[in-house]
Structure 1
Amino acid sequence: ELRRIRRRIGMVFQQFNLVHRSTVLTNVLAGRLGYVSPALSLFNRFPQGDIAKAHAQLARVGLADKAHSRADALSGGQQQRVGIARALMQDPILILADEPVASLDPVLAHSIMQHLEQINQEDGVTVLCSLHFLDLVHRYADRVLALNQGLLMFDGLPEAIDDEKFKEIYGKEAERVG
């Protein structure tokens, strides 16, 4: 039962969590590991339907032409899009995104957030995303949970967090980034 639930929760990691020596396609197919037999997965054998789906997910994130490239040959933004495609392979009901833009420049950060927003709006997948950039929170979030030292300090709409509220949540010395 727990395995069945876990395989429907996609994860997008801050540092991408790709197997650098493997191809982009193999990394995306890793999202299906919860659905295939362990014996087949040991030999990187996946059903043709899963392979077709992986190609479709790569096309969705704009990386169709990178399927046979090594993961370590990609830029940071491309690697994060591979991570998103991998998460989509799980047929998720929930995607947990752990600071998915922390190591990206602002232009790439918006691109990644737009992909996550599109998944939420078009596929109805809930996206729970940790962000440290208030501008991104204001632009992409529907609801905000703000934590400080493990305590819930705010639960509400993004537009309710202005500079004053930000300092109330994180302390007078806190400064906004981005």
Structure 2
Amino acid sequence: MKNANVDLASVFVQIEKRAKGLEGVAGGIFSVVKQFKISTLDSFNDRVSEAFAKNGWSQGAGRPVAGVKRSAPDAVRIYVSTFRAAYRMKLDVMGFDSMHGMRKAIKEKRAAGLQIAQGPPELKGIQVSSENSLTGALWHDAVVLWEHLPNGEKLEFERQVRKLLHKFTKSAPPELAQAA
């Protein structure tokens, strides 16, 4: 059993070494992007289509069409997908020097988008179906109204709601006591 772990460890080291080399080669995509000033997703997609055609690769998944030798290699597809994500997120693709830096920026942008999608901490656990209109449902409308108030009025709205919560919490069963 111990031999299997040593072998697996050596395989991981080989992967690490080869990945560094591949990352360097893939970094060449930045050279092309900068050389041709490819600043939009459409321009990038045009260049990718040209390159795939030149290599005889299919861009689609599945069985290659007539005249196409084979599908693009998975490694190439992954790098192209990473660049496409950066363009879609409106990142300054030409400003990056490495795949690592671009991946990190994509990850951060996705995390920021997730935080926005989750909403402010005050709304944790609350889902609003129509963010920009009142529906007549009391709690939905209270949340939507709160989100759209100017900051000063938002604070007053919160103060009033907290006052009501405090007043009626006294009548609530003890098992609802807020954890400290």
TM-score normalised according to structure 1 size: 0.27
Of Structure 1 and Structure 2, which has the larger fraction of its residues in helix?
A: 2
Structure label with greater radius of gyration: 2
Of Structure 1 and Structure 2, which has the larger fraction of its residues in strand?
A: 1
Structure with bigger RCO (C-alpha 8 Å, 6+ apart): 1
